[in-house]
Chains A and B, each alone.
Chain A
Amino acid sequence: MKCQELEKHLLDFVYDELEADARAGVEDHLAGCGRCRAAVADLGITRRFLGAWGESEADSLPPLAVRPPRPAAGRSRSLPGRIWVPAAAAALVLLVAGVFVAVVPVSLQYDSRGLVFRLGGPSSDGIAQVSDPVLRKVDRMIADSEQRQAQRTLDIVQNVYYRLEDDRAKDRQSIQQGFDLIKEIYMDQIEKNNQLLEMSVRQADYRVPAGAK
């Protein structure tokens, strides 16, 4: 056995995965080849290093509490049971919706009121082509409801506007009153100051000697 051939078996030899014959061949070669002996020793050193990372941590583990879903025998990639329930419910809803759409004609229109969903198919006035009296009634109820809602919205907007106007008028009045009060106080103060000033001037005038004027 040559060195190149031994290199192929080196790891198998170190990890004891060689057949007896091959192992004997490697041992024969190693007996006469210092370079290959060094390579084997090198691997042995690294393995001893790796052995220093002991098993202690994994040994002292508490038991794992694993409670996985039950496997389905014979199925390679079965979905967990909890997925089937919502999936079946969603399928049922879709089926009912599909049947409803197939049996009852519906239409979607976009007009000044926005997107309008109508039973009974598309029509210019909304109910002209509706043959079923029940559907006609439903459509009228929807139209009435929309009108009532629009009126209610208008009422609310008007109320808010009037209330704001009232508030604004009250605010204006309060500000004016405050301004008048301040003005009154200010004018009183000015008048008092003028009187004091005049009195002080008179007193000063009185004290000044006649020759000094």
Chain B
Amino acid sequence: MKQEDAELIGRILDGDDQAFSELVRRWQRPIVSFLLRLSGNMDDAMELAQETFHTVFQRVGGLKDPRSFSSWIYKIALNHCRMRQRRRRGRVMESLEDLSFENNELKDHYQSLTGNEPFSPEEAFSAGEMERAVRAALSRIDEKQREVIVLKEYTGLKFHEIAEVLDAPVSTIKSRMYLGMENLKREILKIIQP
């Protein structure tokens, strides 16, 4: 994958328009998916992805090691997302603070998740509600912890790559991750077991 990215970047720098389209196609889903989980909003995620790709192509000539492209593009996406959130300070990303679950459906789902049985498609019955709970819980935890969790869980980056994206030591990243997972679980339980 890294080799393919490096080749595409080389072709882009040689003026190959096709390579540019291929790179967008290749990275669109991971970047939008990442930004969606970070911003909590699909429209924002799409716009931020556009801005991310614009920045990528403005600065790709300065990328020192094309093999570290994945960390680099996530870093750009993250910076765009942070800038937007700073501009909207005070406004909750997607206000799910008042979310409450009064039926037992979610509790049943929680029990199935905490049990030994693997997550099965049959459980998708309440997966939508579960997804909302995760979104809400993520929006309630510390921003830095959320960034690490989203990078780790939804991008497939390794801890040392996340450290590159966030410009922090690996030990700090792991510490944020551990605390973030604790807080996240607590928030999810608050939502589903009020």
Partner-B contacts on A (CB < 8 A): 10-12, 15, 17, 42-43, 45-55, 57-59, 61, 63-64, 66, 68-78, 80
The 8 Å CB contact of A49, one of B58, B62, B113, is: B113
Asked if A58 contacts B33 (CB within 8 A), the reply is yes
In the complex, chain A residues whose CB is within 8 Å of the CB of B134: 49-50, 52-53
Measured between alpha carbons, how far is A43 from B154 in the docked complex, in Å?
A: 16
Asked if A64 contacts B130 (CB within 8 A), the reply is no
Q: List 10 A-B contacts (CB under 8 A).
A: A15-B152, A43-B181, A50-B149, A52-B131, A58-B33, A59-B29, A64-B24, A64-B53, A68-B54, A70-B15
Asked if B167 lies at the interface with its beta carbon under 8 angstroms from chain A, I say: no
1/0 per residue B20-62: CB within 8 Å of A? 1000110011001100110000100110011001101111111
Q: How many residues of B contact A (CB 8 A)?
A: 50
Q: Give the number of residue pairs across the A-B interface with Cβ within 8 Å.
A: 115
**Distance (whole angstroms) from the CB of B192 to the closest CB of chain A:** 9
**Distance (whole angstroms) from the CB of A70 to the closest CB of chain B:** 7
Asked if B178 contacts A55 (CB within 8 A), the reply is no
9 smallest beta-carbon distances between A and B, as pairs:
A76-B62, A68-B57, A58-B33, A52-B130, A73-B13, A66-B53, A68-B54, A46-B185, A53-B134
**Distance (whole angstroms) from the CB of B65 to the closest CB of chain A:** 13
In the complex, chain A residues whose CB is within 8 Å of the CB of B14: 73
Measured between alpha carbons, how far is A92 from B57 in the docked complex, in Å?
A: 30
Q: Knowing A71-B61, A73-B14, A74-B61, say if A49 contacts B184 (CB, 8 Å).
A: yes
Main secondary structure of the interface of B (DSSP, over half): helix
B59-97 interface with A by 8 A CB criterion: 59-62
Measured between alpha carbons, how far is A64 from B77 in the docked complex, in Å?
A: 15
Measured between alpha carbons, how far is A71 from B60 in the docked complex, in Å?
A: 7
Asked if B99 lies at the interface with its beta carbon under 8 angstroms from chain A, I say: no
**Distance (whole angstroms) from the CB of A17 to the closest CB of chain B:** 6
Measured between alpha carbons, how far is A47 from B180 in the docked complex, in Å?
A: 12
In the complex, chain B residues whose CB is within 8 Å of the CB of A47: 153, 181
In the complex, chain A residues whose CB is within 8 Å of the CB of B49: 64
Q: Which residue of A is nearest B28, CB measured?
A: A64
Q: Knowing A50-B149, A53-B37, A64-B49, say if A77 contacts B185 (CB, 8 Å).
A: no
Measured between alpha carbons, how far is A72 from B185 in the docked complex, in Å?
A: 46
In the complex, chain A residues whose CB is within 8 Å of the CB of B8: none
Asked if A73 contacts B158 (CB within 8 A), the reply is no
**Distance (whole angstroms) from the CB of A13 to the closest CB of chain B:** 12
In the complex, chain B residues whose CB is within 8 Å of the CB of A55: 33
Measured between alpha carbons, how far is A48 from B24 in the docked complex, in Å?
A: 30
Q: Knowing A42-B185, A59-B29, A66-B50, say if A17 contacts B36 (CB, 8 Å).
A: no
In the complex, chain A residues whose CB is within 8 Å of the CB of B178: 10-11
Measured between alpha carbons, how far is A57 from B13 in the docked complex, in Å?
A: 32
In the complex, chain B residues whose CB is within 8 Å of the CB of A53: 37, 131, 134-135
- With A11-B159, A45-B114, A75-B61 known, 12 other A-B pairs at CB within 8 A are A17-B158, A49-B137, A51-B119, A57-B42, A58-B36, A61-B46, A64-B32, A64-B49, A68-B20, A68-B56, A68-B57, A76-B61
Asked if B127 lies at the interface with its beta carbon under 8 angstroms from chain A, I say: yes
Measured between alpha carbons, how far is A34 from B154 in the docked complex, in Å?
A: 29
In the complex, chain B residues whose CB is within 8 Å of the CB of A61: 28-29, 32, 46
In the complex, chain A residues whose CB is within 8 Å of the CB of B54: 66, 68
**Distance (whole angstroms) from the CB of A50 to the closest CB of chain B:** 5
